Amino acid sequence: MTAPHRSLDDLLLYRLSRLVGVAGGMVIRLCEGRFGITRREWRLIAVLASRGELGSSQLAEHAQLDRARTSKAVGSLVEKQLVSRVARAGDRRQVLLGLTEAGQALYDELFPLVTTINAELMEALSKEDAARLDESLHRLQARAERMVEEAVLPKADRGRRGAGGISPPSSRSP
């Protein structure tokens, strides 16, 4: 049995979020300052570069983004001429998204810079520690995916305050 967590700093997800916030900030500055794209747009470009043409739903799934955010980012990338929309032969309702030449060129320039940031960060670990971390991250990812499949949680409702329909303290009866 594990000891109870006493502060936010004891929680894995918080610590990972802080790490991504700090180290990921360098990637965001590169994306926005040098390449004129958002972090979300970079993620979609990277997925398309590694997986090839995809439908919008597939792209959202691989990028682990909701469809609305994916659609908005895709629209921006199409406008920037970094992503193309091509109707599938025989079914004009089905659209494939792919990188344009400019999108591929951006990926080819940005990916090595992001790789360098990652490599420099990983220099904090020995090869053995890096291998253990990689294995641990795989196990944690698999566990998180199982937890999501098994969980019975309410869908997010940002218009409602509180969790599970619980009213905020100010409106509860005594």
Residue 166 belongs to some domain of the structure: no
* Structural domain range at position 69: 11-121
Residue 162 lies in a domain: no
pTM to 2 decimal places: 0.77
* CA separation, residue 36 to residues 31, 70, 75, 76, 101 (Å): 6, 17, 15, 11, 16
The number of folded domains in the chain is 1
Q: Is residue 78 part of a domain?
A: yes
Give domain status of residue 126, yes or no: no
CB 38 within 8 A of CB 3: no
Position 115 scores a pLDDT of: 96
CATH assignment of the domain containing 62: 1.10.10.10
Domain-embedded: residue 132: no
Residue with tokens 């971390």: 133
Considering the domain boundaries, does residue 135 fall inside one? no
Q: Is 151 domain-assigned?
A: no
The tens place of each residue's pLDDT in the chain, 174 residues long, gives 566 658 998 899 999 999 999 999 999 999 999 999 999 999 999 999 999 999 999 999 999 999 999 999 999 999 999 999 988 777 666 789 999 999 999 999 999 999 999 999 999 999 999 999 999 999 999 999 999 888 877 777 666 555 555 444 444 444
Residue 63 lies in a domain: yes
